[in-house]
């Protein structure tokens, strides 16, 4: 059987329409009924989920690279536009919204977020409207905040704070004596999770900013979301900085690993809570999809 040239490499962040942003963590080869099958192994950190996608099926299921800077800017501009709500039955609109979210198209997802947002002076969302809105805005923020390659600026390189701290912590960890690396083996995964959490929170702030409309009365609604995202961002960046500083102390001769093990425990609890929320979001998405399919 002819093999397809690989479109993605290990370490790449990709979008899988049904689940959003994941990372290629491995390329696997297996044999089924005598035929060789190559697989992308995707990891969705927030959901704590692993998915295997046949290389030959990647295109047909809509798996793609992260959107370009232009597409991301277009999506944010879409959020600023006037909502367009069809006068049709909610069940039909819900199907259309679900189809847009699961298409994986960033602008379509931004349209759902824009059309279902409700300011203070508008009628309250129904439960299913609110759940679809949350699913769309979360999916949008995850892609806008997904790590991507650093951008060259002037004579240096620009990285968001969380990416710079994560890189520094990773390099410090890699330079530790083997005995320390063995005992602190969870550090790399914790750093990756904190980076992803911070980047998504940073993107959520951008989404909230784009939804704000001059002269509207939606300040209270958006301010609550902005504060929550800012708190998540600050907590994640703060944890990354503490990890970096404690790793520096180890390099400087300190031998107390307790501060780092405590940080790992705290970060693990944060990740578990995020995973529980993600699982709840996915259950709601699946339930809505079953209801309106």
Structural domains in the chain, sorted by start: 13-65 (2.40.10.170), 67-293 (1.20.58.1290)
Q: Which residue has the tokens 């809105």?
A: 133
What's the pLDDT at 151? 43
DSSP state of 21: E
What's the pLDDT at 168? 85
Per-residue pLDDT of the chain (293 residues; tens, 9 = 90+): 445 556 888 888 899 988 888 889 899 998 887 788 899 999 887 777 899 999 989 988 999 998 888 898 899 899 888 888 888 888 889 999 999 999 989 999 999 999 988 765 566 678 888 889 888 988 888 888 776 644 444 444 445 778 888 888 888 888 888 988 898 888 888 888 888 788 888 888 888 877 776 655 556 667 777 888 888 888 888 888 888 888 888 888 777 787 777 877 776 666 665 555 555 555 555 555 555 55
pTM: 0.65
What's the pLDDT at 149? 46
Q: How far apart are CA 267 and CA 104, in angstroms?
A: 29
DSSP state of 287: H
Helix 127-144 / helix 106-116 crossing angle, nearest 10 deg: 140
Residue among 119, 113, 187 nearest 143 (CA): 113
Rounded to 10 degrees, the C-alpha dihedral 54/60/66/71 comes to 180
HSE at residue 181, side-chain half, CA atoms within 13 A, is 11
What's the pLDDT at 155? 47
Q: Report whether 187 contacts 173 (CB < 8 A).
A: yes
Q: How far apart are CA 147 and CA 136, in angstroms?
A: 19
């Amino acid at each position: 059987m002819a093999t397809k040239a690989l479109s993605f490499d290990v370490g790449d962040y990709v979008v899988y329409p049904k689940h959003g942003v994941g990372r290629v963590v491995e390329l696997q080869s297996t044999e089924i009924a005598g035929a060789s099958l190559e697989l992308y192994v995707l990891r969705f950190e927030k959901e704590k989920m692993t998915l295997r996608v046949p290389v030959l099926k990647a295109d047909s299921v809509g798996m793609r690279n992260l959107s370009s800077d232009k597409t991301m800017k277009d999506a944010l501009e879409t959020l600023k536009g006037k909502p367009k709500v069809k006068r049709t039955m909610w069940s039909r609109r819900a199907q259309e919204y679900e189809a847009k979210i699961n298409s994986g198209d960033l602008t379509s997802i931004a349209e759902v977020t824009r059309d279902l947002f409700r300011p203070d002076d508008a009628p309250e969302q129904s439960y299913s409207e609110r759940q679809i809105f949350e699913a769309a805005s979360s999916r949008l923020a995850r892609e806008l905040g997904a790590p991507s390659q650093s951008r060259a600026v002037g004579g240096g390189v620009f990285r968001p704070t969380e990416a710079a701290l994560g890189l520094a912590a990773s390099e410090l960890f890699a330079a530790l004596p083997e005995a320390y690396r063995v005992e602190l083996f969870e550090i790399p995964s914790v750093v990756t999770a904190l980076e992803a959490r911070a980047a998504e929170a940073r993107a959520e702030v951008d989404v909230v900013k784009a939804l704000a409309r001059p002269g509207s009365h939606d300040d209270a609604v958006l301010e609550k979301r902005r504060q929550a995202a800012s708190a998540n961002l600050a907590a994640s960046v703060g944890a990354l900085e503490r990890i970096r500083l404690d790793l520096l102390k180890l390099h400087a001769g300190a031998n107390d690993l307790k501060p780092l093990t405590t940080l790992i425990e705290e970060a693990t609890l944060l990740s578990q809570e995020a995973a529980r929320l993600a699982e709840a979001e996915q259950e709601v998405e699946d339930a809505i999809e079953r209801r309106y399919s």
